[in-house]
Amino acid sequence: MTDHVVLIPGMMCSEQLWADVEDPIRRHARIHHAVLERNSIASIAHNILASAPPNFTAIGLSLGGIVAMHLAVIAPHRITGVALLSTNARAPRPGQLHDWREAAARLDRGGSAVSEQRRLLPDLVSKNSRTADPTLNARVLAMAEHIGREGLRAQLAAQASRIDYLDALREITCPSLVLAGEDDTLCAAPAMREIAAHLPDSTFQIIPGGGHLTPMERPTDVGRTLSAWLASIDRPGNAEPAGTPLPRALAPATP
């Protein structure tokens, strides 16, 4: 069982992403919220390590999941478990890099994080989720408003800093959980299953009817799954000792 959990949100998401699944998590651990305020994956991870408890479980969604992978690789002596939701272990595709540059250009022309989030809404939450919860769109847009234009600029830069983590995942020996939304079009279940296959001690589960933002769309299923998994984690006895050499490509950068 773990004492501390750090929740890492996705791009244009605030801590409200986790609001409906926090109670099941609190049965097992104290919750800490991370923010994505730096302009690279490495510097975000460095910032989290500087303020997080000595040992913690990292739970991240989308961009936050990529940060969680990075943390588990560069600081194995501190990570007791890692849960990855709706994320991607591969380097950005050319089309993604182009889309992020276009988004940054729209911000330069006076666009907002809310307008960018609105563009993505059909890919962020499934049609069934939007139908079942009329408040869902508004809550997703409110998170983007909280992040704001400059916050989104930093997150777009962080997205562009991504590398391919698939091989590095084999170094993550702590317990891991991989959750995929059944209807997620951004991080589809086969890609998530591939992540689980590269993790030595992984549990893989598909959230029925979930899109990309499963903690908001299917909080009961996600909360129950996270709670059961956290209950199964031992205290940090399988972590690498402090001082374990870091892979050079993933060594923490100065923020």
Tens digits of residue pLDDT in 80-92: 999 999 999 999 9
Within its chain, how far is the Cα of 137 from the centroid? Answer: 20
pLDDT score of 245 more than 50: no
Share of the chain above pLDDT 70, in %: 91
Share of the chain above pLDDT 90, in %: 88
Superfamily of the domain at 1-238: Alpha/Beta hydrolase fold, catalytic domain (3.40.50.1820)
What is the per-residue pLDDT for 233? 86
Angstrom distances, CA of residue 229 to CA of 1, 24, 71, 143, 148 = 9, 11, 19, 27, 34
pLDDT score of 238 more than 90: no
Tens digits of residue pLDDT in 146-179: 999 999 999 999 999 999 999 999 999 999 999 9
What is the per-residue pLDDT for 54? 96
Cβ(162)–Cβ(66) below 8 Å: yes
Within its chain, how far is the Cα of 64 from the centroid? Answer: 3
Tokens 């993505």 -> residue:
120
Cβ(49)–Cβ(71) below 8 Å: yes
What is the phi/psi pair of residue 229, to 5°? -70, -45
Tens digits of residue pLDDT in 51-73: 999 999 999 999 999 999 999 99
pLDDT score of 242 more than 70: no
Cβ(168)–Cβ(247) below 8 Å: yes
Domain boundaries, the chain: 1-238
